[in-house]
Each structure stands twice: as structure tokens, then as C-alpha cells.
Amino acid sequence: MTDSHRISVIIPVFDRSHRLLDEAIESAMNQTRPADEIIVVDDGSAEPVAGHLAEFYGDAVMTFRQDNAGIGPARNLGLDHATGDLVAFLDSDDVWLPDKTQVQLTALAADPELEAVYGLAEQFYDDETDDEYRTRHPIMQTVIESWTTVGVLMRRSAIDRIGPFAAQSQSVDIDWQARARAVDVRSMMLDRVVYRRRLHYSNMGLTRSDEGNPALLKALRDHLHRQRGET
């Protein structure tokens, strides 16, 4: 299918192994409807990723670096450089299915008033995890609805209406999706898997839950205050 849209993909990364980062990038590159630009934002990794990406991907991947500030500011830096009228986000440890952008673009094209298309996520264990890890972190549901940035293709106009990502370490998506609802971004959930969510030893959603719970509560409180017109 040909179309006039331009798709930007933003991938924040911080101290991620080349193996996982490469799998994420290649899943974005190997789409049936390829992205027009792939932007990797290095959030202050101890070993900068620019050299590796230049060696293996050349001009196919744009790389920017910032001092470590978290995934929210990293996504914001990516948005500063993105030129697409459609934007997708990918975490550096997850992988897209090959037709993710294609099926989401088809849904957007079918309804000009639709602003964001989400999809299901399939959770899986990284091959390097052992039985002890899998026992401590059981997958209760293999396939889940993913109302997160990794599962969406969104019009840039809607992103600009929502505003920048916050700087919280763990509840960035919760805060941002709450604000998307507050400004009535018109969204839909596809009944099909569009990406695979990897569980592994450095998975931030698991290893930093002690930070995530207070941040999550703050994001929900802030959302309720906005609904009530409070400051």
C-alpha cells in the first residue's frame, strides 16, 4: 500500500545490551510498511551506542545522546527531531511484529478522525532468563491489551495536543495516557498482537517496582486533579 504519511519511530535506550537493542531496531526496520525514520536516543548510557549503531546501521538510524534523565525526556528529545506526521515508540528491549505499522496505518487511513491505534502485546521470557526468574515473575496472561506508547501508532497532531512526557522514572506511560484521555484523543484497540514484550533480568517494570508504585500513585492523583480543574 502506498500512502502520503511519514512515520517516525523513537527508541530510547539506557545501558541496554547490543543484542536486545539490535533486535528492537531490526523489528522496526523489517516492517511490511517500513518507517521513514528511526531515531535512537541514548539516555546517557555508560557505553555510548552511537558508534555501534553507525557501524551496523549507518544512515538508516539517527542517534542522539543526552545526560541520563529518564525515558520521558529521552522520548521528548526524539520528538524534537522527528519529522513524521505519524509517530510510533519502541522500547529498546521489545520487538514489533512485522506488520505492526501496516495494520495500524490501515486503521488510521480508514477513519480520518481516528488519532491513535493501539494493539495487543504478547509477553515472553528472554532466552537468557532462568527458572528461578520465571518463578519469581510469572506471566499471568500471555496476551494483554497494551494501552502504552510501545503499542501505539499516533498522529503527531495528537501528540502535540497531549504535550511532552513527564520525567517520572516508572509511571511515564500512565501519566501520558491519562493526559491523552483528558484532551480526548480518539483511540482504538486492535484485536491483534502488534508487539512482543520481553521479560528479562533488567526489565524496569519488574526490577524497579519499588520506585514505580509511588510514581504511579502520583500520576493518578495528578490526573484526578486535572479532571477537577485543580492545580
Q: What is the pLDDT of residues 59-80, one digit of tens each?
A: 999 999 999 999 999 999 999 9
pTM: 0.86
* Structure-model confidence comparison of residues 99 and 136, the more confident one: 99
| Contacts for 164 with CB less than 8 Å, ≥ 6 apart | 72, 76, 79
**Residue 122 reports pLDDT greater than 80:** yes
Mean predicted confidence (pLDDT) in 219-223: 51
Distance of alpha carbon 110 from alpha carbon 112, whole angstroms: 7
pLDDT in tens, 157-204: 999 999 999 987 567 888 999 999 999 999 999 999 999 999 876 665
Distance of alpha carbon 94 from alpha carbon 9, whole angstroms: 13
Domain ranges across the chain = 7-228
Give the pLDDT confidence score for residue 201 in this predicted structure. Answer: 63
Mean predicted confidence (pLDDT) in 42-51: 97
pLDDT in tens, 128-140: 787 888 888 888 8
CA-angle at 197, arms to 191 and 202, nearest 5° = 165
Q: The C-alpha cell of 40 is what?
A: 535512537
Give the right CATH number for 7-228 from 3.90.550.10, 3.40.605.10, 2.120.10.30, 3.40.225.10. 3.90.550.10
In this prediction, what percent of the chain has a pLDDT beyond 90? 68
Looking at every residue in the chain, the average pLDDT score rounds to 87
Give the HSE-up count for residue 224: Cα atoms under 13 Å, Cβ half-sphere. Answer: 6
